[in-house]
Structure 1
Protein backbone atom coordinates (compact mmCIF):
# COMPACT_ATOMS: atom_id res chain seq x y z
CA UNK A 1 0.00 0.00 0.00
CA UNK A 2 2.74 2.45 0.98
CA UNK A 3 4.76 1.52 -2.10
CA UNK A 4 1.82 2.27 -4.40
CA UNK A 5 1.38 5.69 -2.74
CA UNK A 6 5.07 6.45 -3.23
CA UNK A 7 4.91 5.37 -6.88
CA UNK A 8 1.87 7.59 -7.51
CA UNK A 9 3.64 10.48 -5.81
CA UNK A 10 6.79 9.94 -7.88
CA UNK A 11 4.81 9.84 -11.14
CA UNK A 12 2.85 12.95 -10.12
CA UNK A 13 6.06 14.90 -9.45
CA UNK A 14 7.49 13.75 -12.79
CA UNK A 15 4.39 15.08 -14.59
CA UNK A 16 5.14 18.48 -13.09
CA UNK A 17 8.85 18.25 -13.92
CA UNK A 18 9.79 18.49 -10.24
CA UNK A 19 12.86 16.92 -8.71
CA UNK A 20 11.74 14.17 -6.28
CA UNK A 21 13.27 15.35 -3.00
CA UNK A 22 12.46 13.39 0.17
CA UNK A 23 10.03 16.05 1.39
CA UNK A 24 8.30 16.44 -1.97
CA UNK A 25 7.91 12.66 -2.27
CA UNK A 26 6.48 12.40 1.23
CA UNK A 27 3.96 15.21 0.67
CA UNK A 28 3.06 13.99 -2.84
CA UNK A 29 2.35 10.50 -1.47
CA UNK A 30 0.02 12.04 1.13
CA UNK A 31 -1.74 14.15 -1.50
CA UNK A 32 -2.19 11.70 -4.38
CA UNK A 33 -1.03 8.35 -3.03
CA UNK A 34 -4.51 6.84 -2.81
CA UNK A 35 -5.60 8.19 -6.20
CA UNK A 36 -8.29 10.42 -4.66
CA UNK A 37 -8.56 14.19 -5.13
CA UNK A 38 -7.97 16.34 -2.05
CA UNK A 39 -8.49 19.83 -0.72
CA UNK A 40 -5.89 20.66 1.91
CA UNK A 41 -4.57 23.67 3.73
CA UNK A 42 -0.88 23.91 4.50
CA UNK A 43 -1.75 23.35 8.14
CA UNK A 44 -3.84 20.23 7.47
CA UNK A 45 -1.12 18.73 5.25
CA UNK A 46 1.49 19.54 7.91
CA UNK A 47 -0.65 17.68 10.47
CA UNK A 48 -1.04 14.70 8.10
CA UNK A 49 2.70 14.60 7.56
CA UNK A 50 3.30 14.59 11.30
CA UNK A 51 0.80 11.74 11.78
CA UNK A 52 2.67 9.81 9.06
CA UNK A 53 5.94 10.34 10.92
CA UNK A 54 7.40 12.71 8.32
CA UNK A 55 9.78 15.35 9.63
CA UNK A 56 8.90 18.49 7.71
CA UNK A 57 8.43 22.11 8.80
CA UNK A 58 5.27 24.12 8.16
CA UNK A 59 7.36 26.54 6.05
CA UNK A 60 8.51 23.62 3.89
CA UNK A 61 4.90 22.51 3.45
CA UNK A 62 3.91 26.02 2.31
CA UNK A 63 6.86 26.23 -0.10
CA UNK A 64 6.20 22.76 -1.47
CA UNK A 65 2.51 23.46 -2.06
CA UNK A 66 3.46 26.64 -3.94
CA UNK A 67 5.95 24.65 -6.04
CA UNK A 68 3.25 22.06 -6.82
CA UNK A 69 0.94 24.89 -7.97
CA UNK A 70 3.64 26.52 -10.11
CA UNK A 71 4.34 23.13 -11.72
CA UNK A 72 0.65 22.81 -12.67
CA UNK A 73 -0.02 19.90 -10.32
CA UNK A 74 -2.48 21.70 -8.02
CA UNK A 75 -4.65 24.78 -7.90
CA UNK A 76 -4.81 27.23 -5.05
CA UNK A 77 -8.33 28.26 -4.04
CA UNK A 78 -8.42 31.37 -1.86
CA UNK A 79 -11.33 31.83 0.53
CA UNK A 80 -11.80 35.17 2.33
CA UNK A 81 -8.52 36.49 0.95
CA UNK A 82 -6.61 34.95 3.84
CA UNK A 83 -7.39 31.21 3.79
CA UNK A 84 -5.88 29.11 1.00
CA UNK A 85 -6.88 25.59 0.07
CA UNK A 86 -4.89 23.50 -2.36
CA UNK A 87 -6.80 21.25 -4.75
CA UNK A 88 -5.32 18.25 -6.55
CA UNK A 89 -8.23 18.13 -9.02
CA UNK A 90 -7.11 20.17 -12.01
CA UNK A 91 -10.19 20.45 -14.23
CA UNK A 92 -12.41 23.54 -14.02
CA UNK A 93 -15.00 22.98 -11.32
CA UNK A 94 -16.80 24.95 -8.60
CA UNK A 95 -16.38 24.46 -4.86
CA UNK A 96 -18.53 24.48 -1.77
CA UNK A 97 -17.00 26.24 1.23
CA UNK A 98 -18.61 24.90 4.41
CA UNK A 99 -18.49 27.83 6.84
CA UNK A 100 -19.34 25.70 9.90
CA UNK A 101 -16.35 23.39 9.45
CA UNK A 102 -14.09 25.67 7.36
CA UNK A 103 -13.70 22.94 4.74
CA UNK A 104 -13.76 22.95 0.96
CA UNK A 105 -15.31 20.31 -1.28
CA UNK A 106 -16.10 19.93 -4.95
CA UNK A 107 -19.51 21.16 -6.08
CA UNK A 108 -21.33 19.63 -9.04
CA UNK A 109 -20.38 21.50 -12.18
CA UNK A 110 -23.24 20.31 -14.37
CA UNK A 111 -25.70 22.92 -12.99
CA UNK A 112 -23.32 25.89 -13.01
CA UNK A 113 -23.82 28.35 -15.85
CA UNK A 114 -21.63 31.39 -16.37
CA UNK A 115 -23.24 33.40 -19.11
CA UNK A 116 -20.44 35.82 -19.77
CA UNK A 117 -17.34 37.42 -18.39
CA UNK A 118 -16.19 41.01 -18.68
CA UNK A 119 -13.48 41.64 -21.22
CA UNK A 120 -10.00 41.35 -19.78
CA UNK A 121 -8.01 44.60 -19.65
CA UNK A 122 -5.68 45.32 -22.57
CA UNK A 123 -2.72 42.97 -22.66
CA UNK A 124 -4.33 40.48 -20.30
CA UNK A 125 -6.27 37.25 -20.72
CA UNK A 126 -8.48 35.31 -18.33
CA UNK A 127 -6.51 32.34 -17.02
CA UNK A 128 -9.17 30.81 -14.77
CA UNK A 129 -12.46 31.55 -13.07
CA UNK A 130 -12.82 30.33 -9.48
CA UNK A 131 -16.33 29.76 -8.15
CA UNK A 132 -16.68 29.25 -4.40
CA UNK A 133 -20.22 28.75 -3.10
CA UNK A 134 -20.33 29.51 0.61
CA UNK A 135 -22.65 27.37 2.73
CA UNK A 136 -24.04 27.91 6.22
CA UNK A 137 -26.75 26.21 8.21
CA UNK A 138 -30.25 27.37 7.34
CA UNK A 139 -32.04 29.24 10.11
CA UNK A 140 -34.97 27.48 11.67
Structure 2
Protein backbone atom coordinates (compact mmCIF):
# COMPACT_ATOMS: atom_id res chain seq x y z
CA UNK A 1 0.00 0.00 0.00
CA UNK A 2 1.36 3.38 -0.93
CA UNK A 3 -0.28 6.70 -0.21
CA UNK A 4 0.73 10.16 -1.14
CA UNK A 5 2.01 11.92 1.94
CA UNK A 6 -1.23 13.76 2.67
CA UNK A 7 -3.29 13.82 5.81
CA UNK A 8 -6.47 13.55 3.71
CA UNK A 9 -5.40 10.20 2.18
CA UNK A 10 -4.40 8.84 5.57
CA UNK A 11 -7.56 10.12 7.24
CA UNK A 12 -9.67 8.33 4.63
CA UNK A 13 -7.64 5.16 5.07
CA UNK A 14 -8.12 5.18 8.84
CA UNK A 15 -11.84 5.97 8.65
CA UNK A 16 -12.30 3.25 6.03
CA UNK A 17 -10.72 0.78 8.46
CA UNK A 18 -13.03 1.90 11.26
CA UNK A 19 -10.41 3.86 13.21
CA UNK A 20 -10.81 7.41 14.45
CA UNK A 21 -8.10 9.54 12.79
CA UNK A 22 -6.41 10.98 15.86
CA UNK A 23 -3.43 13.28 15.39
CA UNK A 24 -0.99 10.54 16.46
CA UNK A 25 -2.58 7.85 14.27
CA UNK A 26 -2.53 10.15 11.24
CA UNK A 27 1.11 11.09 11.85
CA UNK A 28 2.21 7.46 12.28
CA UNK A 29 0.18 6.32 9.26
CA UNK A 30 1.80 9.02 7.13
CA UNK A 31 5.23 7.75 8.18
CA UNK A 32 4.24 4.12 7.54
CA UNK A 33 2.41 4.34 4.23
CA UNK A 34 4.09 7.21 2.40
CA UNK A 35 7.23 5.19 1.59
CA UNK A 36 5.71 2.23 -0.24
CA UNK A 37 5.69 -1.34 1.01
CA UNK A 38 8.14 -1.96 3.81
CA UNK A 39 8.83 -3.87 7.01
CA UNK A 40 9.40 -1.87 10.17
CA UNK A 41 9.77 -2.53 13.87
CA UNK A 42 8.03 -0.42 16.49
CA UNK A 43 11.41 0.87 17.62
CA UNK A 44 12.35 2.00 14.10
CA UNK A 45 8.99 3.70 13.58
CA UNK A 46 9.41 5.45 16.94
CA UNK A 47 12.84 6.72 15.80
CA UNK A 48 11.32 7.98 12.53
CA UNK A 49 8.58 9.75 14.51
CA UNK A 50 11.14 11.49 16.70
CA UNK A 51 13.13 12.65 13.65
CA UNK A 52 9.86 13.92 12.09
CA UNK A 53 9.01 15.83 15.30
CA UNK A 54 6.00 13.64 16.05
CA UNK A 55 5.60 13.64 19.84
CA UNK A 56 4.71 10.01 20.54
CA UNK A 57 5.83 7.45 23.10
CA UNK A 58 7.11 4.00 22.19
CA UNK A 59 4.06 2.49 23.95
CA UNK A 60 1.75 4.54 21.72
CA UNK A 61 3.65 3.36 18.64
CA UNK A 62 3.21 -0.27 19.73
CA UNK A 63 -0.50 0.26 20.45
CA UNK A 64 -1.06 1.99 17.13
CA UNK A 65 0.77 -0.71 15.16
CA UNK A 66 -1.34 -3.40 16.84
CA UNK A 67 -4.53 -1.43 16.13
CA UNK A 68 -3.54 -1.08 12.48
CA UNK A 69 -2.83 -4.83 12.36
CA UNK A 70 -6.20 -5.72 13.94
CA UNK A 71 -8.10 -3.78 11.24
CA UNK A 72 -6.01 -5.21 8.38
CA UNK A 73 -3.85 -2.20 7.51
CA UNK A 74 -0.66 -4.03 8.51
CA UNK A 75 0.55 -7.60 8.72
CA UNK A 76 2.59 -8.69 11.72
CA UNK A 77 5.74 -10.70 10.97
CA UNK A 78 7.23 -12.43 14.02
CA UNK A 79 10.82 -13.47 13.43
CA UNK A 80 11.76 -14.27 17.01
CA UNK A 81 9.95 -14.33 20.32
CA UNK A 82 10.58 -10.67 20.99
CA UNK A 83 11.38 -9.37 17.49
CA UNK A 84 8.34 -8.37 15.46
CA UNK A 85 8.11 -6.38 12.26
CA UNK A 86 5.04 -4.79 10.72
CA UNK A 87 4.52 -5.16 6.99
CA UNK A 88 2.56 -2.62 4.95
CA UNK A 89 2.01 -5.30 2.27
CA UNK A 90 -0.96 -7.26 3.62
CA UNK A 91 -1.24 -9.63 0.65
CA UNK A 92 -0.29 -13.28 1.10
CA UNK A 93 3.48 -13.65 0.78
CA UNK A 94 6.53 -14.96 2.62
CA UNK A 95 9.68 -13.35 3.95
CA UNK A 96 13.45 -13.60 4.17
CA UNK A 97 14.95 -12.51 7.48
CA UNK A 98 18.61 -11.47 7.31
CA UNK A 99 19.81 -12.39 10.79
CA UNK A 100 23.07 -10.44 10.62
CA UNK A 101 21.29 -7.22 9.67
CA UNK A 102 17.88 -7.66 11.36
CA UNK A 103 16.14 -6.95 8.04
CA UNK A 104 12.94 -8.50 6.71
CA UNK A 105 12.26 -8.52 2.96
CA UNK A 106 9.59 -10.12 0.81
CA UNK A 107 10.52 -13.31 -1.00
CA UNK A 108 10.21 -12.36 -4.68
CA UNK A 109 7.91 -14.02 -7.16
CA UNK A 110 5.55 -16.70 -5.99
CA UNK A 111 7.70 -17.35 -2.94
CA UNK A 112 7.34 -20.66 -1.16
CA UNK A 113 4.84 -23.32 -2.15
CA UNK A 114 3.37 -25.34 0.68
CA UNK A 115 1.82 -28.72 -0.03
CA UNK A 116 0.04 -31.14 2.22
CA UNK A 117 -1.00 -28.81 5.04
CA UNK A 118 -2.46 -30.64 8.03
CA UNK A 119 -6.21 -30.80 8.55
CA UNK A 120 -7.21 -28.22 11.15
CA UNK A 121 -8.98 -29.45 14.28
CA UNK A 122 -12.77 -29.75 14.22
CA UNK A 123 -14.47 -26.36 13.99
CA UNK A 124 -11.26 -24.55 13.00
CA UNK A 125 -9.96 -23.22 9.69
CA UNK A 126 -6.49 -22.22 8.52
CA UNK A 127 -6.47 -18.47 8.05
CA UNK A 128 -2.85 -17.94 7.08
CA UNK A 129 0.48 -19.72 6.98
CA UNK A 130 3.51 -17.59 7.81
CA UNK A 131 6.90 -18.54 6.42
CA UNK A 132 10.08 -16.74 7.44
CA UNK A 133 13.25 -18.05 5.83
CA UNK A 134 16.20 -17.06 7.99
CA UNK A 135 19.45 -16.14 6.24
CA UNK A 136 23.00 -15.43 7.34
CA UNK A 137 26.33 -15.12 5.56
CA UNK A 138 28.17 -18.35 4.94
CA UNK A 139 31.15 -19.07 7.15
CA UNK A 140 34.38 -19.24 5.13
The alignment's TM-score, normalised by the length of structure 2, stands at 0.91
Give, in whole Å, the separation in 1 of the partners of 2:6 and 2:102: 27
Cross-structure match for 2:27: 26
Give, in whole Å, the separation in 1 of the partners of 2:16 and 2:106: 23
Q: Tell me, which stretches of 5 or more residues in structure 1 are unaligned? A: none
4+ residue runs of structure 1 moved beyond 4 angstroms? none
Give, in whole Å, the separation in 1 of the partners of 2:111 and 2:17: 31
Cross-structure match for 2:126: 126
Distance change >3 Å, CA 71–CA 99, structure 1 → 2:
same
| 1:93/1:109 contact within 8 Å kept | no
Cross-structure match for 1:75: 75
| 1:77/1:87 contact within 8 Å kept | yes
Q: Tell me, which stretches of 5 or more residues in structure 2 are unaligned? A: none
How many Å apart are 1:11 and its aligned residue?
2.7
Post-superposition Cα deviations, 1:88-112, rounded to whole Å, max 9, x if no partner, equal 1011001010101111111114242
Cross-structure match for 1:6: 7
Q: What SS does the corresponding residue of 1:27 show, helix, strand or coil? A: helix
Cross-structure match for 2:44: 44
Number of corresponding residues: 137
| 1:38/1:87 contact within 8 Å kept | yes
Give, in whole Å, the separation in 2 of the partners of 1:40 and 1:100: 16
How many Å apart are 1:24 and its aligned residue?
0.2
| Alignment RMSD (CA, Å) | 1.4
Post-superposition Cα deviations, 1:76-133, rounded to whole Å, max 9, x if no partner, equal 1111122111111011001010101111111114242111210111121111111101
Cross-structure match for 1:108: 108
The alignment's TM-score, normalised by the length of structure 1, stands at 0.91
| 2:75/2:86 contact within 8 Å kept | yes
